[in-house]
Structure 1
Amino acid sequence: MVRRVEGCVAKAAIFILTGNESHADYGRLANGLEAAKEFVETDGDEVTVVFDGGGTQWIPELIDAESDYHELYLAIRDEAVVCDYCASAFGVEEAVDEAGLTLVNEYEGHPSIREFVADGYEVITF
């Protein structure tokens, strides 16, 4: 059991890196979105969800209202960004645009993990 410390805030950058090829990938996505939702629901916490690498492939499915993960996505979407380079590499730019998500390209076309670390974020990968 995790002990909560009153007044303690947490900062997390949750990277969704897994593609959508296997049943296990769906589990990693669900766990990443659930973790992000817990941060969103905790007053004072800060979270950014970064869809990077193969994780960018989830965007078309997540914006589909029929998706099993759409409600989880809606709970975290205001905190989500997408790797610019990888959105292009995986051909999901149109879905990212439709979702209204921000493309990030701070380091050679990708999100800067270093920036998150320097800003005191715990980097968590799924």
Structure 2
Amino acid sequence: MATAAIVILAGTDSHADLGRLVNGLETAAEFADNPNDEVALLFDGAGTQWIPELEDESHDYHALYRSIRNEVIVCDYCANAFGVDDIVDEADIITADENGGHPSIRSLVDDGSEIITF
């Protein structure tokens, strides 16, 4: 059994950022497909900007995102800072704010998660 937290930090500015997002989604899906694994897909920092795009059904990676949507968590502070908090709320996505408005990476490590960043 493996436990992982996939953290998407890449913004939406470049083709390379899209590549990092897709690699993160694919990695999260691989964990989610294994019934013995646990995974959280955390959008943090500029990565929160992907939520409006991925919620759009016409996005190329919408289906992949939806396949692991139950694992998605968004940084509460960063969603507000990057102006996507309304969409996160409308989509009913869980937000994390344990560490001064941000998710607690330390808590994830303490719980046994491997942290993988994209």
TM-score normalised by length of structure 2? 0.98
Unpaired runs of 5+ in structure 2?
Answer: none
Using the alignment, how far apart are the partners of 1:41 and 1:99 within structure 2?
Answer: 23
Range with bigger deviation, 94-103 or 51-60: 94-103
Shift of 1:43: 1.2
In the TM superposition, what whole-angstrom CA distance separates every residue of 1:48-86 from its partner, at most 9, and x where no partner exists?
A: 010000000000000000000101110111001100000
Partner SS, residue 15 of structure 1: strand
> Displacement of 1:17 after TM fit?
0.4
Partner residue in 1 for 2:52: 60
Q: Could you tell me which residue of structure 1 aligns to residue 62 of structure 2?
A: 70
The CA distance in 1 between the partners of 2:78 and 2:101, in whole Å, is 8
Specify the SS of the correspondent of 1:86: helix
Question: Which has the larger Rg?
Answer: 1
Instruction: Report how many residues are paired.
Output: 118
Alignment TM-score, normalising by the size of structure 1: 0.92
CA–CA distance in structure 2, aligned partners of residues 14 and 111 of structure 1: 13
% same residue: 61
In the alignment, what sits opposite 2:75? 83
Q: Aligned letter for 2:53?
A: E
Q: How far, CA to CA, are the matches of 1:86 and 1:12 in structure 2?
A: 21
What is the distance in 2 between the residues matched to 1:12 and 1:111? Answer: 15
Distance (Å, rounded) in 2 between the aligned partners of 1:44 and 1:75: 17
Aligned to 1:5: none
Structure 1 runs of 4+ with >6 Å offset: none
RMSD: 0.5
CA distance in 1, matches of 2:9, 2:68: 16
Q: Which amino acid aligns with 2:73?
A: V
What letter corresponds to residue 93 of structure 2 in structure 1?
L
